[in-house]
Chains A and B, each alone.
Chain A
Amino acid sequence: MIKITKLPLAILAMFMVLSSCNDAKKSDGKSGALSSNVAERVYVAPGQHDEYYAFISGGYSGNLTVYGLPSGRMFKEIPVFSQFPTSGYGYSEETKPMLNTSHGFVPWGDAHHPDISQTNGETDGRFVFINENNTPRIAKVDLTTFETTEIIEIPNSAGNHSSSFVTENTEYVVAGTRFSVPIPQRDMPIKDYKGNFKGALSFLSVEPEHGTMDLSFQILMPGFNYDLAHPGRGESHGWFFFSTYNTEEASTLLEVNASQNDKDFIAAVNWKKAEEYIKAGKFKTMPANYAHNVYDEATHTATSTMKKEVRVLNASELPGLVYLLPTPKSPHGCDVDPSGQYIVGNGKLSANLTVHSFTKMIDAIENKKFDGEAYGIPILKFEDVLAGVVEQAGLGPLHTEFDDKGNGYTTFFISSEVVKWKLGTWEVLDRQPTFYSVGHLTIPGGNSRKPTGKYMFAMNKITKDRYLPTGPELEHSAQLYDISGDKMELLLDFPTHGEPHYAAAILASKVAPNSKKIYKLEDNEHPFAAKSDSETKVVRDGNTVHIYMTTIRSHFSPDNIEGIKVGDKVYFHVTNLEQDFDVPHGFAVIGQNTSELLIMPGQTKTSVWEPKQVGVWPFYCTDFCSALHQEMQGYIRVSAAGADTPLKWSMGEDIE
């Protein structure tokens, strides 16, 4: 009872402190000269390039958006877990397998946390990994093409939230379950959750050269919720930390029932130990069913393979694999500083930040200073592992990133602000308001051993009144701060697409030079590619017709096709013969129920068309490609189902 009466008072007191603080900032006011200078600091002149790429997840859009910093300009939306009309991703025959799962085709997923691949603890700009929350999956985006090239489904998992963070040499990408579920899934009363549901933490190995992912093993954990995760680095390399909530193991009205324990845990997983157990054969091979989808750049085609088993380590039975660090109070974020020494657990219902010490943790483990256990997993004593507390920093701490000067930056959802504090002394150095209700924040390289301390951007959940209204639905907003000085300074405020859940950012110089301009036509191994006009043809096989078609500025070949019949299944395999940067061609045929296409130079893509009416139907290029783009069109003649119209195709013949 005492607690409940105290909390509103505390909140009230906080608001007063914070608002007076903000007022003070306003009154001491920045000079006009300085504020006009802010615009120059984010201005990137026409034709000039930004200094950083930011990869911002689209949350419920299922996609990943690419922005430039400091300008806040959006460069590309990369389709990952959702069908995407612009390019036909997930609609075209070649990319449909990318969205295959054990539940069948899932056209729209919920993307959350992008993370950039690392070498020696530094972001290397090769791949971005991102998780799908709803239907648990991890995707890999290749940063030479900025396309999704691999998606792996995670079995025994639900709400794939504490994902997809990478270890410092990209040895593993993790996929921790948010919801615990019966493993294996079965029909059972929900009220029997406690003790029966389990949480699976998945470790996906990444093949060093090509980045090919493989679900290496899973660790079976108690039925808590695993919210966020972070790899150790430097001295703590080899460990992975997962924040938990609902250690109460409640199954209903979690907003109350999962908020009862004063402390939940950060689970410290020793993945090097896990590797030893795997090597020693201490795993169980469980039957499973999950999709592994790989896009082949040579065939321009994805294949989906169903995998049938997974190796599982049981944390309750294997000593030394997992330890639990008590952390107040329903922690959300779980962040590790660049040195790997400090593990920050932000109790989202607390006003304090709790920081654990890796050295103290190891010491406590070595001296077996345990405070009981949960399902056989040792719980360490809070006081023994605590490095420090940032007291009364704000309300609703969520996520922390770090700069290169030993400072942490933590977002506070309830009090809508970012607070800068010092590692080691735990003093608050600065606070800046955000607009409004900030979730994650990102510092380029912030997830690595070498963050760059120039910019930080906060991603907000609520946008009202920031921009011109667009009806009830608004884009979210991101806010860019200069963090190079003692005080953070708000520079820019830009809308983001979908829900900017989290982002990863990197120096552009690590990515841009490797970006591909075209696909080489001679490397195109698509089985239905036509690599020149002379290879174009139309082939009938029963009711299936394959059209090998080419595009180049400004015509299709063939552009007159006859002999198609109602009831046929017509595959347009369109190869773009261009070998020139930024010259895609589009393809659309009237009444198609699948996909329009956007085909990059040297690429082949396929759209299926099932004509239902006789007639002569047009197709055309949908991407303005040249002065004669409008003329880039053709006709396909559809005869009645039983007609004997001969199969014929041509280009340019009538003119001669």
Chain B
Amino acid sequence: MKKAGIIMIVGSLLLLGLFKFPLWNIMLGAPQYPDPLGMNIYVDGIRGVSEFDIQNLDGLNHYIGMKKIPKPEEMWEFSVFPKVVLGMSLLGVLLGILGFMKKISPKYFLGWFVLMAVLGILGMYDFNNWLIDYGSNLDPKAIIKAYNPDGSPMAYKPPLLGHKQLLNFHVTSLPHTGGYLMFVGMTLTLIAYWVGKKSTQMQSKR
């Protein structure tokens, strides 16, 4: 259980990477943008990959009537997410320490993982809703109004994950360093559960 506790602590601490590295990245390239524009999504806000990318994206988006890319204070998520991440990380470390001291069973590790997965899924769901709103809740006076073949107005929602063509832009949406650290961390907590479970089984067999 000692080993499991350490893995649990390490895994939980990896979540803190989100305070330094972006969770997600969306790149937008077009023929006239050989250096693609890009935004990095951090737990506490959206920043351009290059200095003026956000300004330039907003400049382009106004043609299709998109809202400006939100500042951190314009979305409640950016004040809540950091607290959730910090809270989960501390909780994970606490559970790890308790596990290390053999005060709790590894099931708590699994519980943490499930809670984190649920929160993560909720976060993704929220993020996706935001993308939908951002991409389809357009200014009715938009300069360019494009329609799908079925006659419905075209939405400009970037993909949640993967690649999509939006008018002249190739949009690629992928997790970034912070996101990968979080996935690795979560996997480690699952491993901690598994290692812990094995060691307690061994002990009980003895």
Contact = CB atoms under 8 A, between A and B. Distances in A.
Interface in A483-531: 518
Interface string B38-80: 0000000000000110011001000100000000000000000
B202 interface: no
A580 B56 contact: yes
Nearest to B32: A582
Contacts of B55: 579
Contacts of A628: 63, 143
Contacts of B35: 581
B144 A580 contact: no
Given A627-B144, A628-B143, A579 B63 contact: no
Interface residues of A, number: 11
Interface string A574-590: 00001111000000000
Interface residues of B, number: 10
B90 to A, nearest CB: 39
A552 interface: yes
Contacts of A552: 59
B59 A578 contact: yes
Interface string B110-146: 0000000000000000000000000000000101100
Nearest to B34: A47
A292 interface: no
Contacts of A518: 52
Contacts of B51: 579
A579 B56 contact: yes
Nearest to B143: A628
Contact of A579 (B52, B141, B143, B144): B52
A517 to B, nearest CB: 9
Contacts of B144: 627
Interface in A231-264: none
Contacts of B56: 579-580
Given A552-B59, A553-B59, A627-B63, A580 B52 contact: yes
A627 to B, nearest CB: 7
A171 B143 CA distance: 56
Nearest to B141: A655
A582 B22 CA distance: 29
Nearest to A518: B52
A552 B143 CA distance: 15
Chain A: interface secondary structure?
A: loop
B63 A580 contact: no
Contacts of A581: 35
Quick one: which of B35, B51, B59, B63 has the most chain A CB within 10 A? Answer: B59
Quick one: which of A579, A626, A627, A655 has the most chain B CB within 10 A? Answer: A579
A627 B55 CA distance: 18
A433 to B, nearest CB: 41
A358 B59 CA distance: 62
Contacts of A626: 63
B143 A580 contact: no
A581 B56 CA distance: 10
Contacts of B52: 518, 579-580
Contacts of B59: 552-553, 578, 580
Nearest to A581: B35
A518 B144 CA distance: 27
Contacts of A553: 59
A630 to B, nearest CB: 12
A179 B35 CA distance: 52
Nearest to B60: A553
A54 B141 CA distance: 49
B5 to A, nearest CB: 50
A585 to B, nearest CB: 12
B34 to A, nearest CB: 8
Nearest to B62: A553
Interface in A26-62: none
Contacts of B141: 655
Interface in A532-567: 552-553
A552 B56 CA distance: 10
A607 to B, nearest CB: 24
Interface string A613-635: 00000000000001110000000
The 9 A-B pairs of least Cβ separation, nearest first, read A579-B52, A580-B56, A579-B55, A553-B59, A628-B143, A580-B52, A552-B59, A579-B56, A627-B63
19 contacts: A518-B52, A552-B59, A553-B59, A578-B59, A579-B51, A579-B52, A579-B55, A579-B56, A580-B52, A580-B56, A580-B59, A581-B35, A626-B63, A627-B63, A627-B143, A627-B144, A628-B63, A628-B143, A655-B141
Interface of A: 518, 552-553, 578-581, 626-628, 655
Interface of B: 35, 51-52, 55-56, 59, 63, 141, 143-144
